[in-house]
Copies of this chain bind each other. A is one copy, B any other.
């Protein structure tokens, strides 16, 4: 009786027990972020992710070599988002001093809106600088957005003609410090608006500090 042949592939007949996710890798990354958001980086467990996704504990080793690799992927994604969001505030047709301040606010805003990403990116969970090439590339990309913006402002005469790398490291250190202290609650700010206001103040101090 050949009439029993189904139109769909046979495996669709067991939807609840096999191939739970079309994109398990994506689901693992998102569940990891939610878990970090709820319990902190230290509270992230692969077993917990598996349980939440209804997947065996070993399933995720098909998508990531180990827990460290999963965190690396989270960090790389974060650097990519950070680069896109900061670069958008300083487009080619608006490379102004005001736009540079917006970039600082966007940087800290990213950390506030994506604290889990930011903590993985800079929390020291990743083994010191033995990162994957993808992660190194994304990190360098974020930094280059800042360097390019400073070079542009230098050519306009708004920023002193110091080594752009030194200038960029100074600016980066400052906004990174604000971001870290803010998401750790050590800035003693009452709400997001207060952090943003302080970030604007910081941007103004940076502007004065690097002015030509």
A181–B173 contact, CB under 8 A?
yes
How far is the CB of A40 from the nearest CB of chain B, in Å? 7
User: How many residues on the A side are at the interface (Cβ–Cβ under 8 A)?
Assistant: 39
B173–A177 contact, CB under 8 A?
yes
Q: A169-B198, A209-B206 are in contact. Are A186 and B129 (CB under 8 A)?
A: yes
List, in ascending order, chain B residues with CB within 8 A of A34's CB: none
Of the listed residues A139, A172, A177, the one surrounded by the most CB atoms of chain B closer than 10 A to its CB is A177
Assess whether A83 is interfacial by the CB under 8 Å rule.
Answer: no
Assess whether A61 is interfacial by the CB under 8 Å rule.
Answer: no
Q: Which of B125, B127, B128, B177 contacts A177 (CB 8 A)?
A: B177
Assess whether A193 is interfacial by the CB under 8 Å rule.
Answer: no
Q: Do most interface residues of chain A lie in helix, strand or loop, or is the interface mixed?
A: helix
Chain A 107-132: CB-based contact to B (< 8 A → 1; otherwise 0): 00000000000010011110111000
Assess whether A170 is interfacial by the CB under 8 Å rule.
Answer: yes
A125–B42 contact, CB under 8 A?
yes
Q: Which of B127, B129, B185 contacts A128 (CB 8 A)?
A: B185
List, in ascending order, chain B residues with CB within 8 A of A122's CB: 180, 184, 186
Assess whether A146 is interfacial by the CB under 8 Å rule.
Answer: no
A41–B177 contact, CB under 8 A?
no
How far is the CB of A57 from the nearest CB of chain B, in Å? 20
A201–B166 contact, CB under 8 A?
yes
List, in ascending order, chain B residues with CB within 8 A of A185's CB: 128-129
CA distance A208 to B205 in the complex (A): 9
How far is the CB of A136 from the nearest CB of chain B, in Å? 11
CA distance A24 to B41 in the complex (A): 30
CA distance A211 to B42 in the complex (A): 42
B119–A184 contact, CB under 8 A?
no
A181–B172 contact, CB under 8 A?
yes
